[in-house]
Structure 1
Amino acid sequence: MNGLRILVVDDDRDFAETIADVLESRAHTVDIAGSGEEALQFASLHPFDLAFMDVRLPGMDGVASFLELRKKNPHAKVIMMTGFSMEQLLDDALKNGAWAVLKKPLDIPEILSMVDRIRPDGTVLIVDDDPDFLRSVSEILELSGYSVVTASNGREAIERVGGDRIDLILLDIRLPDIDGLEIFSRVRSQSSNLPVIIVTGYPEDEAGKVSAINSSKNTGVMVKPIDPTILRRTVDELISRTDLGEPYLD
């Protein structure tokens, strides 16, 4: 993967420069901003792939800055950093698309591992006959930088997989025309590497099906109602592991 353009936002210059040095050693391009206002200026000049942003900043706080950055660069991933307990602010950030929250002092190997998993783009196919579910999950993934296509039944899903470039499928196991397990089998017959996340609203009733599917590589299972943070993390990890040719380990 080519180097990313990364923005580090922290009013502790020594801390920011330390993080920048580590990231630049991995061939990433790094800009440093000491405030939310300065971060917005950088974002106007240079679109970035990833930002590390301290929650507590002078002037505009980190969460407000993050929300403004989203308007300028909706596809970028943002990792919030905090040395304090600020649950409400962090909850607001996660609900609005922050990719992760890290507690200071940061663990350098963890940072590098997270950066290595970043992929700036990708297309997700969501298959579900519930229009509200399609709409809400589409919004979550689009906020995280993914392109989204949808299908409301199995036949449409199969056509999408055959005709579009798809990087991951989010597949409801209960559909009105074709059983989700059959769709999964058809997808696997065409591509063993295409990641698939099976979604179920009835985990006890469908435990047998879910267990069989979850043992496959490049596969995950999620239960409705879906947690947005877990969804983003699972999609990011499945897609990035597939890009690197690594098996997905649940």
Structure 2
Amino acid sequence: MESRHRRVQRIVAAAYVGIPVLLLVVVAVIASRGKAAAWIGCVVPVAMLVFGFVLRRRHRYQPRWWTGVAGLFGGLTGLMVTLFPLAIGVWWPAVLALPGLIVGLVAGLALARTADRALLVPFDPELAGTPYELVFRLRGIPLATVLVDADKVTIQSHPVPRADHQSRSYPLSTITGTHEFSLMGAERLKFPITVAHATATPGPAVILQANGEDWVLPTNQAGTLIDVLTTRRKP
């Protein structure tokens, strides 16, 4: 587990810090061929680098943020690499701005995906004993997820909830039971959050009992979710 942790954190560092450093090098090389004013362009990658250092410390154990940050940094890098040559009078790379944006975005997303897969595939039961916030997707409900961190479980209908009804959290200490069973696909499910466009699908699910409430969570990783909750509930 320790070797996997080191590998994951190296990839996360490449996304949060490595991308801004790469952009800074490219911008510095371009600026060195122009006037002194062109060095102002270094402000953007330096700002990205500072934010990357700060955010990496906050997000290092939260995979749900890796995709957004890596995609943003990658897209900005692709865009700036094609547009910044205008500062030294070279215009032709600007016609590649849109492809550059797309390529940078895809590269950033691929880097985040690599970190996510390095963490979760194949799933190691020892992950339950780490500080990583583990993400489980709910089947048939677009964007909905179950997040399990060190002391609570959160059910949310959007990656970044904007209202109280889109998210509900339970301290692990309030969970009184977790049970796996199979859905036929015709059941009417009740959720602790407001969900839209939910589609009942057959397959594994988890009954989560907490605070006197029972919720049915359809997920293809039902057994794994129960194992993680059971392990992290132990004192």
Relative to the length of structure 2, the TM-score reads: 0.26
Which is bigger in relative contact order (C-alpha 8 A, separation at least 6)?
2
Bigger radius of gyration among the two? 2
Structure whose residues are more often helix by fraction: 2
